[in-house]
């Protein structure tokens, strides 16, 4: 693959500059080069050939990732237990809150029922008062009619 350098902020071959053509082995450029070049024409003259860096000297002991997998899994398991406990506590709080809310709603419904009954009693008593007032009015009329005219009493 041939590319034309557009940005130098990458590990290009020594001496390479913007506008130079660099060739890579294969059909793909390394990930570090993405966004720092444009594809070059097939017939473009190559200024530099990219060679992957060679590690020189002692690199020390390289631990396989599998050795750390147990530690990572233990850490993940610890986090999972913490979060499961937190979720369980929050679910309990939610359940307790739901129970308290239901109790309040039940108490409220009890009060509504009492108010409804009191309103019904008051309506019945008002009807009774109206009926008694009508009877009193009829009795007063009957009494007035029963009195002899001209008697001062």
Does residue 115 lie in a domain region? yes
Does residue 61 lie in a domain region? no
DSSP string computed for 27-84:
S---GGGTTSEEEPPTTPPPSEE-------S---PPPPHHHHHHHHHHHHHHHHHHHH
- Same structural domain, 12 and 46: yes
- List beta partners, residue 21: 4
| Enclosing domain of residue 121 | 71-128
For residue 64, pLDDT over 90 is answered with no
| H helix or E strand, kind and range, residue 132 | helix 65-146
Overall average pLDDT of the 26-47 stretch: 91
Does residue 143 lie in a domain region? no
pLDDT digits (tens, 9 = 90+) for 93-131: 999 999 999 999 999 999 999 999 999 999 999 999 999
Does residue 142 lie in a domain region? no
Structurally, the chain folds into a number of domains equal to 2
For residue 12, pLDDT over 80 is answered with yes
Q: What pTM does this model have?
A: 0.37
């Amino acid at each position: 693959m041939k590319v034309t350098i557009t940005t130098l902020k990458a590990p290009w071959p020594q001496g390479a500059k913007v506008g130079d053509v660099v060739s890579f082995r294969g059909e793909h450029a390394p990930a570090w080069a993405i966004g720092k070049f444009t594809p070059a024409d097939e017939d473009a003259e190559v200024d530099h050939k990219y060679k992957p860096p060679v590690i020189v000297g002692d690199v020390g002991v390289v631990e396989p990732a599998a050795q750390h997998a147990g530690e990572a899994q233990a850490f993940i398991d610890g986090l999972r237990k913490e979060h499961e406990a937190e979720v369980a506590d929050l679910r309990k709080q939610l359940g307790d809150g739901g129970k308290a809310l239901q109790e309040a709603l039940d108490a409220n419904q009890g009060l509504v029922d009492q108010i409804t009954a009191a309103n019904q009693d008051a309506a019945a008593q008002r009807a009774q008062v109206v009926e008694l007032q009508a009877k009193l009015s009829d009795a007063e009329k009957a009494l007035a009619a029963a009195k002899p005219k001209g008697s001062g009493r």
